Structure formats: structure tokens, C-alpha cells
Amino acid sequence: MITSATRFTDKSGFLSVYFNGTNWIGIEPSDLTAVFLPAGVTSDPLALISQVRGTDIAMGAKSVGLAMGYSSGNAASANGWTGAADQPTTFGTLRTHDTGVFWQDIETSQGVYNAAAVARLDSMVNAASAAGKDVLYSIGYVPAWASGGSIQAPPTNNAFVSNFVAWLLARYGTKITHIEGWNEPNVSGSFTGTLAQLVAHQKAIWTAVQTYNTANSTTIKVLSPQWTFQSGVAATLGLNAYMAAAYADSGSTGYYCNVIAYHFYSETNSLRFDRACVNAVITAIAAFTGASALELWCTEVGDSFPNARAVKEMIAFCLANNVKRVILYDWYLPGGSGSDMRLSRVLTPAQFDAITAIFQGKTMNCLNSYRSQSINNGGSPQTQGAPLGATINNVAVLLT
């Protein structure tokens, strides 16, 4: 913030300018992650920012993650994350989704492994482990040989997925710290099986990991299927249906996961991040016996043509609501028409690292409300400018 004894005449670059009884206060975008608000600043008559004390929330050292993306036409993405100079380095969790190392990329026929895909996974896992990062392996979809023809169909025999997980862990051990279930089964076409088949697929992953953990005294964790959109809470293949079915299938002992995973996207493209969905998921989880003991992660979120402020908003809002990790999508891979989500398009590695450093290992105890800017400005990256008027609540100010 900037203070002055005289009224600001040039308000450009400020989110708000107002008088606190002594000085005129200029609130800048950087104040959204300020260590402390100035003494005497408690409210904003323009309702752009207001200080509200809340409960301290500790953010883990690996609370911000990244998915890299992979494209056969993009030489820079060929090996996924390796810690190269043109890649971010300070995030804590690496998600392998969309980096060319799904199950169907690796095991091209039963017991036969694609050397190029395995080498890519070797490169990422070894580099991330050496750098002290957690690795979240995305199994992805089912090889056609294991499903009878479609990668969106469940396996014809869940021993196939169990055997693949066993191979994966025999090769990498605890260098892979987390394994996740089916990606977005509630989205049309992503999963063509039944709820019972989804539960059985997740159970096969869970059982294979627990078998490895027991034999090796390890604590590799399993993430649930990753649903998305508010409709994913109540969908036939959504969060509520899965939780009820898994709990019943387990004999009321659990949900075949250590972590509940969700993608907090909006169902419209006007804003890709849906804050209301975070609250809907938290409310839904609380209704299931013992589920509050599981961590909630946002394993994928992003914005069309994001800017630094949008990235901060997404991370801050999730962590402020006790979502334990937020994994951003992604560094290299373009989205569809009008929804390019490459962070590398608008941020340098150093700029992304600076955002990561704001959150990881810090404590949050002050939540603010402020007015948001447009994120997607006609298909081009938005820069900081005048706020547009859509109120967003509960965005965090961070205190170290």
C-alpha cells in the first residue's frame, strides 16, 4: 500500500484509493498477498477490500503443485518436468497428468512397456524426487487391450490395473508419493462404465498400493477419482454417489482413498475457477462418516488466458478454505479454442516461482473480499487494470 497526506490524483494501477482518517491509502494488486495491512486500515468504503480476522491456517511446504503438459510438437515439453532453466522449480507437488505417461502410454500391450514413455516418466520422477518434490502419478485411462477397445471404458479385469500399479511401485517405490484414480468420471465421455465399475477400479488401485505399503513399510497415498464442476457433486458418477457406494463396498471402513480430489472448474467459460464449487464439495464431504479425516485437494484448476492475479486468487481461495493442495493446470499444454491455459504463456518461471513462494509453508489468518478483474479479455492475456465489479469473497491475505 502507498499512503499520502494528499489525495491521489492518479488512481491508475490501484484497486482502491480511500482516506483512513489520517492518510489517503492506495491499495495495489500486490497488497492481496501483503504480510500486514497498515495500522488503522480496517475497511474500505468502496467495498474493494475489507479485513476480517479468521482462524490461522497453516499451509504445507508442498501446498502448491503443477502439471506440466506434454505435446509431441513441443520440444520443450518432451521430457516433462526436469528442473530445466525454462521451467518453474519452487512448487512442491508435481502431477504427471497429460505428460505422455498415462497407463495407456506406458503399457501398450499386456506386460509390454513403451521405452520412450518409460524414459519420460523416469526423467520426471527421478528429477522431482531428487528435488524433494512429491510426485502425484496419474494412472489416466485404460489401455485399449485392457478394456476391450476404449481408453474411457473400465478394464475387463481389474487385475490389469493392480498389476500395473505393482509394476509402477516396484520401479519407483516412494519416489512416487501419491497415485490418483479416474480423471473426471462425471464428464461426458471420460468414463463409460457404471458406478460399481468405478468403485471397483478405485478399489484395485487402493488394494495394490496398500499391499506395497504393508510389504515395504511405506506410506504411499491414494487419491480418489477427480470430479469436476458443481454438477459433479450430485452426478450419477459424481462425488456423493461414489462416496456412498465405496463406503458400502468397503463394509463401512472407508472410501478407498487417503485424499479426496476435485477440479474446481466453472461449468461456464466466463470464469474457469468456481469458488462456490469449493464450498459445495466441502459441505458434501462433511455428510459422510469419517470423510472429514481425509484431506481435500484441488488436483487441477486453471483459467483461460490466466494472469498472475488469477493464479494467486485460485490458490489463495482454496487454501483459505482448508483445501490442502492446489495443483495448477498447466505449464505447456494449450487448451481448446478460446481457453488456452498455458501458464508459460503469461508467466516466466521466475514469476511462477515467486507466486509459489508466497504460499508454501506460510500461515494464513486474514481473509479479505475484493472486486475482481476480468480474466479472459477477448482471448488475450489480461493485464492489471481497473476492477470490473464482480465481488469475490474470502480471498486471503497472508501472514508469515
Residue 395 lies in a domain: no
- Concatenated DSSP letters for 160-184? HHHHHHHHHHHHHGGGS-EEE--B-
Residue 365 lies in a domain: no
Cα–Cα–Cα angle for 291, 295, 266, rounded to 5 degrees? 95
- CATH code for position 138: 3.20.20.80
Report whether 141 contacts 160 (CB < 8 A).
Answer: no
Residue 165 lies in a domain: yes
Residue 338 lies in a domain: yes
pLDDT at 389: 29
Peptide bond into 44 cis (omega under 30): no
Cα 195 from Cα 201, distance rounded (Å): 10
Cα 295 versus chain centre, distance: 13
Residue 46 lies in a domain: no
What is the phi/psi pair of residue 149, to 5°? 145, -25
Residue 181 lies in a domain: yes
Residue 382 lies in a domain: no
Domain count, the chain: 1
pLDDT along the chain (400 residues), means of 10: 50 54 59 51 46 62 93 80 93 96 96 96 97 97 95 97 98 98 95 98 98 98 97 97 98 98 84 82 96 96 79 80 92 77 89 87 56 33 30 37
Look up residue 107 and give its three cell numbers: 503399457
What 8-state DSSP symbol labels residue 57? E
Report whether 165 contacts 209 (CB < 8 A).
Answer: yes
> Tens digit of pLDDT for each residue in 240-277?
999 999 999 999 999 999 999 999 998 876 557 887 89
pLDDT at 392: 33
Neighbours of 189 (CB within 10 A): 8
Residue 33 lies in a domain: no
**Which structural domain, as residue segments, surrounds residue 261?**
64-360
